[in-house]
Amino acid sequence: MIEIQNVRKSFGSLEVLKGIDLTVQKGEVLTVIGGSGSGKSTLLTCINGLEPIDSGRILLDGTEVHAKGTDLNKLRRKVGIVFQQWNAFPHLTVLENVMLAPRKVLGLPKAEAEAIAVKQLTHVGLGDKLKVYPSRLSGGQQQRMAIARALAMSPDYMLFDEVTSALDPQLVGEVLDTLRLLAQEGMTMICVTHEMKFAREVSDRVAFFHKGVMAEIAPPAELFGAPRTPELQTFLSATH
């Protein structure tokens, strides 16, 4: 369970999170929508401790992420994150990209790490690209590799930060299909996205962020069907 309690965060004088309260249950798929600068991506990087917060608490299975004694490296094994820019390690093959963290962080023997990596890469449809360097892959393939790389750590939670925003339109589908697959398998996911159709299909709940505040949160049928705030109404009419 991810518990976000009254989290505030500023970059300089700009407050990007103005007291966010949100609980994500095990097995839930939450999508977060909202305009750029609404704080939704920042929230994700706060959840796995890549960004500090100014006040409030974030609890991951009861462990406070930003507490002093928390071992963030250990905590991050539980939470995979995939970014808008796929960030492949360019000097490693696709297989090595995915094997690296299981080998070095979990300390698995080579054969075991390789088996996990092959399994995850096959899962995202890259089973035939193992020995290839990332530069030879399309953006969509690189993004799926990044997803496999995060999954290889067998995380309990997955965070997706606008993973299709930097892709050519014809490559978006393959990545969304991978996310759908994970959702069907019961992975707990928070997806920041601009893909409304995808949000409508896979989410258990959808949260709408506006200027650092979570303005609305509801199951997709309700949120898209009957938006309550004028901000969400404006946002939805602009994106449709």
Partner 1 sequence: MFDTALTWNDLIFLAHGAGMTLMVTAVSVVAGTLMGIVFGVLRYQAGPVWSLPLTFVLDIFRSVPLLIQLVLANAFQAIARLGWDPFTTSCVVLSLYTAAFCTEIVRGGIEAVPHTTRRAARSLGMTWWHDMRYIVAPLATRVSLPAWIGLTLGVLKDSSLVLWLGLIELLRASQILVTRLQEPLFILMICGAIYFLLSFPVARLGGYLERRWSPND
- Contact footprint for partner 1 (CB under 8 A): 48, 50, 73-74, 76-77, 80-81, 83, 85, 87, 89-92, 100-101, 104-105, 133, 135, 146, 149-150, 153
Cβ-based nearer residue to partner 1, 93 or 196 = 93
CA distance 81 to 4: 17
CB of 217 to partner 1, least distance (A): 25
CA distance 58 to 152: 24
CB of 32 to partner 1, least distance (A): 18
Give which of 27, 30, 25 is closest to 1, Cα–Cα. 25
Q: Is the dihedral of CA 13, 71, 107, 187 positive or negative?
A: negative
Please report, as a single letter, which amino acid is at residue 125.
Answer: G
Cβ-based nearer residue to partner 1, 161 or 216 = 161
CB of 131 to partner 1, least distance (A): 12
CB of 127 to partner 1, least distance (A): 21
How does strand 205-210 pair with strand 29-34? Answer: parallel
Cβ-based nearer residue to partner 1, 134 or 140 = 134
CA distance 195 to 179: 12
CA distances to 22, 32, 143, 168 from 121, rounded to whole Å, are 32, 27, 11, 21
CA distance 149 to 235: 33
Cβ-based nearer residue to partner 1, 21 or 112 = 112
CB of 79 to partner 1, least distance (A): 8
CA distance 67 to 59: 10
Using DSSP's 3-state secondary structure scheme, residue 210 falls into strand
How far is it between the farthest Cα atoms of the chain?
55
Cβ-based nearer residue to partner 1, 80 or 220 = 80
CB of 87 to partner 1, least distance (A): 4
Cβ-based nearer residue to partner 1, 77 or 200 = 77
